[in-house]
């Protein structure tokens, strides 16, 4: 009997602390509440506590999923963690999470650093592990705390990003394929356009020394230890690569009319509206679930899917196109049959 990988459950958590448009407008008087919302589509971002890490959110998301009773923790035989804010350079945060969750020592575990396309990449990895017989029950965890990289005086990114974690259960099942038509792309020439310049091995952070603070032409202040985003370059990349990726998912055997929902990386309102118009997608099939949490990087697509499940928009039998794109540059797409 053929075995196929299938998504069977999703849960997510957001930090307790929030950053609202009212708070941002008080800090940046040149941006009022309406301007922030109209540009980003975001009203609230959740911000992790100073003494918390992305792994703390990951743990809570996994425990929330396990508490549903969908699966017993003893049955989990692999954990895949997507994060760009790991607890340490080494060991892998997935190993720490395996121990903290009380999973079997026969469980495989690894991290991968992929950002906004990370959820789709993770689905592809899980499909490969399950359909080659290496695993049966996989926890795909996405967890990010970009707020730790953001300078408080940099409104260009502070208005966009929120912290979050999601846990997605992928299991072996008959009657598939349920995850199909994976497409990937990479262009490392764009690495410099969404980056934290220092802190890694190439440019280590100097101990006990604060890097220089500088202000760009738009009045945003940051250091090289903070997140930098070239918004116009990211937008141009997305408008060029995402439609190409999207088109590659379809042919005579699988047409756009067979798709019930489109779940793109939940970047911001301006980006998603522009992509939807460029590709000519109907708004009623296009998921937009980021107003309450902001751009949560690799967790944005599973959050969007879970919210669609909660609202009864996504039900069994539906077909979803998932598309992730961003930091790297990296992009990926696939078909998810629910």
Q: Considering the candidates 82, 268, 295, 334, report the single residue annotated as catalytic.
A: 295
CA angle 78, 82, 85 (to 5 degrees): 130
Match 């053929």 to its residue by tokens.
Answer: 2
Query: Helices H, strands E: what count in the chain?
Result: 9, 15
CA angle 45, 51, 57 (to 5 degrees): 55
Match 């017989």 to its residue by tokens.
Answer: 133
Distance CA 271, CA 238 (A): 8
CA angle 166, 170, 172 (to 5 degrees): 175
Are 170 and 130 in contact, with CB atoms under 8 Å apart? Answer: yes
Are 179 and 127 in contact, with CB atoms under 8 Å apart? Answer: yes
Q: Considering the candidates 151, 265, 268, 334, report the single residue annotated as catalytic.
A: 265
Residue 60 CB partners (closer than 8 Å, separation 6+):
13, 165
Residue 240 CB partners (closer than 8 Å, separation 6+):
none
DSSP for 241-297 reads HHHHHHHHT--SSS-GGG--EEEE----HHHHHHHHHHHT--GGGB----TTT-B-G
Residue 294: closest CA among 85, 11, 15: 15
Between the alpha carbon of residue 79 and those of residues 222, 264, 332, the distances in Å are 35, 24, 21
Q: Considering the candidates 82, 107, 116, 293, report the single residue annotated as catalytic.
A: 116
Tell me if residue 292 is catalytic.
no
Query: Measured between alpha carbons, how far apart are the two ends of the chain, in Å?
Result: 20
Tell me if residue 265 is catalytic.
yes
Instruction: Give the active site residues.
Output: 116, 265, 295
């Amino acid at each position: 009997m053929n075995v196929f990988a299938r998504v069977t459950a999703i849960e997510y958590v957001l930090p307790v602390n929030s950053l609202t448009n009212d708070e941002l407008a008080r800090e940046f008087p040149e941006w009022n509440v309406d301007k922030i919302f109209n540009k980003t589509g975001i009203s609230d971002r959740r911000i992790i506590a100073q003494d918390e890490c992305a792994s703390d959110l990951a743990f809570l998301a996994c425990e929330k999923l396990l508490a549903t009773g969908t699966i017993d923790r003893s049955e989990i035989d692999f954990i895949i963690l997507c994060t760009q804010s790991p607890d340490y350079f080494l060991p892998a945060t997935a190993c720490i999470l395996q121990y903290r969750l009380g999973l079997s020592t026969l469980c495989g575990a690894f991290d991968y650093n992929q950002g906004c396309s990370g959820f789709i990449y993770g689905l592809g990895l899980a499909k490969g592990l399950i359909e080659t017989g290496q695993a049966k029950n996989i926890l795909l965890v996405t967890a990010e705390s970009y707020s730790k990289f953001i300078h408080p005086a940099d409104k260009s990114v502070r208005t966009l990003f929120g912290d979050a974690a999601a846990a997605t259960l992928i299991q072996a099942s008959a009657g598939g394929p349920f995850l199909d038509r994976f497409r990937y792309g990479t262009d490392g020439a764009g690495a410099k356009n969404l980056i934290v310049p220092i802190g890694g091995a190439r440019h280590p952070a100097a101990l006990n020394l604060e890097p220089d603070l500088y202000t760009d032409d738009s009045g945003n202040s940051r250091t090289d230890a903070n997140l930098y985003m070239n918004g116009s370059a990211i937008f141009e990349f997305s408008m060029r690569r995402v439609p190409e990726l999207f088109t590659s998912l379809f042919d005579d055997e699988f047409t756009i009319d067979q798709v019930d929902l489109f779940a793109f990386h939940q970047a911001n309102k301006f980006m998603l509206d522009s992509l939807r118009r460029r590709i000519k997608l109907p708004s009623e099939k296009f998921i937009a679930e980021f107003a309450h949490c902001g751009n949560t990087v690799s967790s944005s697509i599973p959050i969007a899917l879970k919210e669609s499940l909660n609202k009864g928009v996504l039900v069994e039998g539906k077909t979803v196109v998932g598309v992730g794109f961003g930091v790297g540059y990296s992009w990926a797409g696939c078909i998810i049959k629910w």
